[in-house]
Amino acid sequence: MNDIECFIELVSDKEKKAIAWTIAAEGCITISNASGGNIRPLVEVSNTKEVFISKFHSMVGYAGNVYYYKKSNAYLWILTGIPLVKSFLEYIVDELPIKQEQAEIVIAFCASRMSRNFNNGKQVRGRCCPYSNEELSMRERIRFLNRRGVVE
């Protein structure tokens, strides 16, 4: 059982809504650059108050990681990993008051990567499987949606 499966079993409906609203207000759902020319899905929440991020981290069953960025004086919770991000977003997408389109795109990206990353029945790392034009388009759509002041 992974961190997200444990989280899903333990979280109440009230906490699920609080998590979704926190991501909507203080978070980001994206597909970002990673090392080696890879791109990766991630969900993050940032705040200058450590207690806020600590409470959020406990609400999600301590899934993900918490970092402190001295330069911006901010604490950051980050969830990465294709299966984890996909499971997490599938669980909260219906509760998101905004950013549903970003969540749905990232879910589709994760599903696409998971379906393509197999070699002789064994799962392989993402860079072993080139990104499809559709996956790259998803990344560009996410970039557009996450720009400040975007109105369609």
Pick from 68, 85, 81: nearest CA to 38:
81
Beta strands in 10-53 (DSSP E): 27-33, 39-47
pLDDT at 79: 96
pLDDT at 34: 86
- Per-residue tokens: 15: 């906490």
Q: What confidence category does residue 118 fall into, taking pLDDT thresholds of 50, 70 and 90? A: low
Mean pLDDT confidence for 3-21: 78
The answer on pLDDT for 91 being more than 70 is yes
Identify the sign of the CA torsion 132, 145, 67, 107: negative
pLDDT at 115: 84
